[in-house]
Amino acid sequence: MPAVTLAIQRRERSSPASNGALSAFVGQGATSAGVVVQSVPDVEDGLWVGTSATDRVWVVFIDDAEPPCQIAVGDKVNFTGKVVANPPNFAATVGLADADGAAQLTTQAAHIEVPETGVTLAK
């Protein structure tokens, strides 16, 4: 089984945020195939995916539709989206608490936007 869980700009990455910041990838496409959900904080329309609590990326659902599936920690998900720069105070705007990774999201300076209808559970 390959270690790769996320591809950004057609470069496979076994470590979604290995350098701590995603700003170099803003504007690029992001595709996951079986990336693991690390955390689903009690905020609307977002979750963390990656290989661990310290090596993960924030994913935001960008439309008003409900996801076609219930997503929980440990699930593996498939999606296609785009890396987007975080606007000022983004973590606070989405309601992400310090305990849920607000500082990490701010440090990464970017997140992935995905249409809710474009995410599926991996088999």
Render 40-86 in DSSP notation, one character per residue. --SSTTEEEEESSSSSEEEEEE-SSSPPSS---TT-EEEEEEEEEEP
**CATH assignment of the domain containing 110:** 2.40.50
Q: How many CB atoms lie within 10 A of CB 51?
A: 19
User: Domain for residue 79, yes or no?
Assistant: yes
Q: Tell me, what's the pLDDT at 97?
A: 94
Mean pLDDT value across the chain = 82
User: Domain for residue 47, yes or no?
Assistant: yes
DSSP code for 30: E
Q: Choose between 79 and 66: higher pLDDT.
A: 79
Q: Is the pLDDT of residue 39 over 90?
A: yes
User: Domain for residue 52, yes or no?
Assistant: yes
> Which amino acid, one-letter code, is at 68?
P
- Split into its structural domains, the chain has a count of 1
The pTM of the full predicted model, rounded to 2 decimals, is 0.85
User: Domain for residue 100, yes or no?
Assistant: yes
Q: Is the pLDDT of residue 1 over 80?
A: no
User: Domain for residue 41, yes or no?
Assistant: yes
User: Domain for residue 1, yes or no?
Assistant: no
Range of the domain at 108: 6-121
